[in-house]
């Protein structure tokens, strides 16, 4: 992430914590007040990537940081660190995990609701993932490897 993006997103986070912001236009004005100029498309992408949600409160609509999205990102990072190896044979994806963590990894993968995953079976340090379509086994293995590499969404 570039330092401009990091700086802009830190400002967005700070503004949303300090102000009741009802629109992207209002947020753009507040950013401009801090010397940060950005397009509506960039602002919209930032809000999406940051997990910002628009909720309705007693005073009307308001943008808020969605803590669930932040928790999910952190959990993805932990799960990615717990997976030691991703392999497949064209029919089944097999993960090696840290000892005792296979069940947690499998539970996380099941909860994602990813249409590539038919189901999982976990042991102590091994997870078997049945792909919904064996022809997409490579794609499923790449998705799981993305968790390890920090790139899967």
Q: What is the per-residue pLDDT across 117-148, written as a single tens digit (0 to 9) for each? A: 999 999 999 999 999 999 999 999 999 999 99
- Structural domains of the chain, with CATH: 3-65 (1.10.10.10), 69-149 (3.30.1360.40)
* Collapsed DSSP state (helix, strand, coil) of residue 119: strand
Question: 60: pLDDT confidence band, cut at 50, 70 and 90?
Answer: confident
Question: 72: pLDDT confidence band, cut at 50, 70 and 90?
Answer: confident
Short-list 97, 82, 89, CA closest to 127? 97
Nearest-10 Cα torsion for 9, 10, 11, 14: 120
- Of 13-17, 93-97, 120-124, the poorest mean pLDDT is in 13-17
Question: 67: pLDDT confidence band, cut at 50, 70 and 90?
Answer: confident
Phi, psi values for residue 22, rounded to 5°: -100, -20
């Amino acid at each position: 992430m570039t330092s401009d993006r990091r700086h802009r997103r830190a400002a967005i986070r700070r503004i949303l914590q300090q102000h009741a912001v009802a629109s992207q236009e209002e947020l753009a004005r507040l950013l401009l007040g801090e010397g940060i100029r950005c397009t509506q498309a960039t602002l919209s992408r930032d809000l999406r990537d940051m997990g910002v949600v628009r909720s309705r409160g007693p005073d009307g609509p308001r943008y808020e940081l969605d803590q669930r999205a932040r928790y999910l990102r952190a959990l993805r990072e932990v799960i990615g660190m717990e997976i030691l190896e991703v392999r497949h044979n064209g029919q089944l994806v097999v993960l090696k995990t840290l000892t005792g963590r296979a069940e947690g990894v499998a539970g996380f993968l099941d909860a994602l609701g990813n249409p590539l995953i038919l189901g999982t079976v976990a042991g102590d340090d091994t997870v078997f993932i049945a792909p919904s379509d064996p022809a997409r086994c490579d794609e499923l293995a790449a998705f799981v490897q993305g968790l390890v590499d920090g790139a899967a969404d």
